[in-house]
Amino acid sequence: MRLPVAAALLSLVACSESTEGTPPKLEGLINPLQRLVTPARVCNAGGGTAGWRLELLGSRFTPMPRDALTDTPSVELPQVSLSGPSDYTLPADHLFFARTELMRMDLPTRDTTPSSTLAPGAYTVSVTNPLGGTAELEDALRVVPPPVITSITAPQGFHYSAGSPLVIEGSGFRSDALPLIVLQRAGEEDQPLFTLTVVSDTRIETEVPPATPEGTYAITLTNPEGCAVTRPQALTVAYAPLGTLSVSPSSGPAGSDRAVTLTSAGAAFTPGSHDVYLVAPVKTDPGQTVNIPLYDVAYVSATQLKATVPTCSGFDTRPVTDPTCPGGIVPGTYGLIVTDPSGAFGTIPASSGFTVSP
């Protein structure tokens, strides 16, 4: 294997004869997470075990073969240095030559090995070829600190059937680009928060999506350049409960929709629009349990609602003329969810819920 390696290295020498002593040309530095953002932004924390992968663009990047005719040939790469609020020269094993127009580098952070915490601010990047010649690019890199979360509040509490406003305060937020924020709880998929307003670099206004399950969540905020912060047990989602709920009649045939009365034995219903769902599968997708809305839901009193279970129609447009009810609910016994305009909600468990009979 030594001869092919030696030949490759000697070809580099041949190529370098025409550029010996010629300085490289440095055109830009790119963070692959934000290719269209210049100057490149990078966080001084995180970055995995090796650091943040960045790309140096230019021309005449010229490695130098070493010991080409020995058992241990090697290549000396150009040296890359940063100067600004602090100075730093990248370790040789964090540089990767792709071609004379492209090199890649892994920039260490406080969390990597080796570690290096660059002070936030603007940096000049310089590249020096082994045979001599240096190129510099001012303000090619902006180092930013990781975001910090100091408080999370839900000033209006939680509303089951509507988004619940949430205020996140801290530092290092990006007012020029939206972060990714997710709720996390063991055993469940991450829940992204989609409605975001970055008011300033210290305040974000967002909302918890409707029908988010009750429980305690961690929150992870990730800025576009990649740096993230996680606040464990940051938010406990809880809704005001309705009273003990029941449904009557508690069964109906699969071949026709069924009018029912929902009764609360405790906390009262409030006037307004209520949403009621049967948690069940439909015939078109019998393996998937979904929330099927009841229709004609009407407020009767503080203790009663009227509604119709779509046992035959399911999600289909009514009236359904096919007697086989092809989109109807699969026979079985299912629970219900009831939401109130106040934001409260309640459930009827399947053990005492509504039965769709064959």
Q: What pLDDT does residue 10 have?
A: 44
154 and 135 in a single domain? The answer is: no
Q: Which of 354, 323, 348, 351 is nearest to 258 (CA)?
A: 354
103 and 182 in a single domain? The answer is: no
Last residue of a domain, one of 177, 208, 237: 237
23 and 135 in a single domain? The answer is: yes
Last residue of a domain, one of 98, 120, 144: 144
Structural domain of 175: 148-237
Q: Assign residue 15 the CATH number of its domain.
A: 2.60.40.10
Question: How many structural domains comprise the chain?
Answer: 3
307 and 217 in a single domain? The answer is: no
186 and 270 in a single domain? The answer is: no
155 and 133 in a single domain? The answer is: no
67 and 105 in a single domain? The answer is: yes
Q: Mark the ranges of the chain whose per-residue pLDDT is less than 70.
A: 1-21, 67-69, 71
164 and 139 in a single domain? The answer is: no
Per-residue b or e along 7-27, where b marks 16 or more CB atoms closer than 10 Å to that residue's CB: eebeeeeeebeebeeebbbbe
Give the SS3 label for residue 327.
Answer: coil
Q: How many other CB atoms are found less than 10 A from the CB of residue 223?
A: 23
| Contact between residue 32 and residue 42 where contact means Cβ atoms under 8 Å apart | no
57 and 81 in a single domain? The answer is: yes
6 and 139 in a single domain? The answer is: yes
133 and 153 in a single domain? The answer is: no
Q: What pLDDT does residue 68 have?
A: 60
CA 240 to the chain's CA centroid: 29
- The span from the CA of 70 to the CA of 214, in Å, is 67
350 and 249 in a single domain? The answer is: yes
Q: What pLDDT does residue 69 have?
A: 61
Last residue of a domain, one of 144, 176, 210: 144
